[in-house]
Amino acid sequence: MIEPMQCTGYLMRLLALYHIISFISFSRAEARIRHYKWEVNYGFQSPDRYKKLAITINGRTPGPKILAQQGDTIVVELKNNLFTENVAIHWHGIRQIGTPWSDGAGGVTQCPIQPGESFIYKFVVDRAGTYIYHGHYGMQREAGLYGSIIVSLPNGVSEPFSYDSDRTILLNDWFHKGTDEQVIGLSSIPFVFVGEPQSLLINGRGKYNCSLLNTPSSEPGLCNATNPECSPYVLTVVPGKIYRLRLGSLTALSALSFEIEDHEMTVVEADGSYVEPFVTRNLYIYSGETYSVLVKAKQNSSRNYWISANVVSRKPSTPTGLAIFNYYPNHPQKPPKTLPPAGPLWNDTKSRLAQSLAFKARQGFINTPPLSSDRVIVLLNTQNKIDGYYKWSLNNLSFTYPTTPYLIALKNNLTDAFDRRPPPDRYDFANYDIYSVAKNVNATYSNRIYRLKFNSTVDIILQNANTMTLNHSETHPWHLHGHEFWVLGYGLGKYNMSSDWRKYNLFNPIMKNTVPLHPYGWTALRFRADNPGVWAFHCHIESHFYMGMTVVFEEGIDKVGKLPSSIMGCGETRNPYI
């Protein structure tokens, strides 16, 4: 006999499935193929007045915006003109169902694109929403290789909220030191950290104080305070209209607080999923996250207002990132006469945790998670030293890439391509003190991966701890490729295996692809291992990712179709008979 509550849940899932099938059928009827031809180059750019070498797409950073409709096929023909560097681009938030080789994770799903060569990415955007793309080889995202993907609903299908127009806003932090120099510092003894960014960019524009470059040896024209390309981004609005702002964070290091002076924002979307609307004055946004907020232009239209981005979770030394919220018909370059919003306290962890807990799935669009999982993997996030080098580790394993990408190695049964031993699902709960600087004497390098049973339900519990610095724990935004997951809960302190699972939200959890892990806290998520392929799960901070803060999941590799030859050409795949 089916209980009433179970019956209700069953009917909701049935309706949701019907809704999805209707969308897919509709999308197939309307779907188009959208072609893009990109060339990746180095070029001198001055996004914050300071001239430096950046990676561009067709001469631009941020790169071109991809505009598509749900169900469309995206074809990006990419040529690598860097000549001395490989390239790979990840389509962040696109699940790559049926096309795992187009995920763009160099070393995981493909051999990176070699200098002078071209590669064709081809995939379907199966869900409407706000997404991003970025470099996924080395630290190229930080060098300017990024952009936005906007996927609209099929014709005749409406959003569950109304607005008059939408705008895309990309947030980034900007370093004057080149990524090669940063990588050398991260890989050296003594360790040299990347430091704090010099600027925060809003839609690729910032404002560095050129007077800080007061050395006589400074290159002429290195910093041009009058460069018109560095004028603040201007968002022009018409009084009384409602605007959907599609926000995306591509920061290499910084967690941010975003706000518009004297205006409230209603949050309605997160990582492509509808949010039960809530109003806020400032939105915390972590690297890899995307949001949609609604803003009504209802303030005094005789003046303009600041749009600001401020660093949180790290003691800030970077100036506020600024743009202008311009009320038409004011002059768009007319700066507000007020001081920019200072933002919340940088170390107010409780405020950030409270906002994380505020996200719920929107009524009518709730995808109820399974009530239990088949496997629980607990990942202890620690900073370690291995042979004197600073590394980040999960359960004392610091990730290193094999020479042959996992997708290719597994599909072709190349048994010697990586360590086949399973990594640990747990750490030593009883004896590990997350508040102390632990010696972590058993930390080691690893290219082992988690093999998941296809269609199983998996729980991931991320546990934060102290770094190698006393009384210091960092914020880590974790991103899962190939999936979206239910965010079941957050907490401060050490996760309690016997009781904290009782705090999970199993009624209306939000689904995301990127989630923050707060200092000295834990984050719990659940996903279905139902997308055949090999998928990276990693911290989205560039330096942390480079220093080993990654795991890899395999699921249903036998169900993956024939691999295209274009992803081959490195490691054991140099064999022409493979």
pLDDT in tens, 483-522: 999 999 999 999 999 999 999 999 999 999 999 999 999 9
Residue 321 has pLDDT above 60, yes or no: yes
75 with 205, same domain: the answer is: no
559 with 434, same domain: the answer is: yes
419 with 381, same domain: the answer is: yes
Q: CA-to-CA distance for 326 and 302, rounded, in angstroms?
A: 10
Residue 108 has pLDDT above 70, yes or no: yes
202 with 181, same domain: the answer is: yes
60 with 143, same domain: the answer is: yes
283 with 429, same domain: the answer is: no
Residue 416 CB: number of other CB atoms within 10 A?
Answer: 10
269 with 396, same domain: the answer is: no
Q: CA-to-CA distance for 242 and 164, rounded, in angstroms?
A: 5
pLDDT band at 527 (very low <50, low <70, confident <90, very high): very high
Any domain includes 77: yes
Mark which of 313, 333, 348 sits at the end of a domain. Answer: 348
SS3 content of the chain, % helix, strand, coil (to 5): 15, 35, 50
Average pLDDT over residues 70-95: 97
Residue-wise pLDDT tens digits, 163-176 = 999 999 999 999 99
Give the total number of structural domains in the chain: 3
235 with 315, same domain: the answer is: yes
Residue 576 has pLDDT above 60, yes or no: no
Q: Is the dihedral of CA 95, 100, 101, 107 positive or negative?
A: positive
171 with 143, same domain: the answer is: no
Q: CA-to-CA distance for 363 and 365, rounded, in angstroms?
A: 5
404 with 511, same domain: the answer is: yes
Any domain includes 241: yes
CA-nearest of 554, 18, 478 to 255 is: 478
Residue-wise pLDDT tens digits, 386-435 = 999 999 999 999 999 999 999 999 999 998 999 999 999 999 888 899 99
Mark which of 152, 178, 201 sits at the end of a domain. Answer: 152
Any domain includes 24: no
pTM, 2 dp: 0.93
Which of the pair, 304 or 229, is modelled with greater confidence?
304
Residue 280 has pLDDT above 90, yes or no: yes
Q: Return the pLDDT at 211.
A: 85
Residue 461 has pLDDT above 60, yes or no: yes
Residue-wise pLDDT tens digits, 382-398 = 999 999 999 999 999 99
Q: Return the pLDDT at 20.
A: 42
Identify the domain containing residue 391 by its residue range. Answer: 375-573
Any domain includes 136: yes
Q: Virtual CA dihedral for 243, 150, 313, 380, nearest 10 degrees?
A: 140
Residue 88 has pLDDT above 70, yes or no: yes
Q: Return the pLDDT at 488.
A: 98
561 with 429, same domain: the answer is: yes
Any domain includes 482: yes
Any domain includes 453: yes
Task: Output the domain CATH number for residue 128.
Answer: 2.60.40.420
Any domain includes 7: no
Residue 6 has pLDDT above 70, yes or no: no
Residue-wise pLDDT tens digits, 216-249 = 545 667 888 777 777 899 999 999 999 999 999 9
Any domain includes 357: no
Q: Return the pLDDT at 4.
A: 37
388 with 436, same domain: the answer is: yes
Q: Virtual CA dihedral for 332, 337, 342, 343, nearest 10 degrees?
A: -40
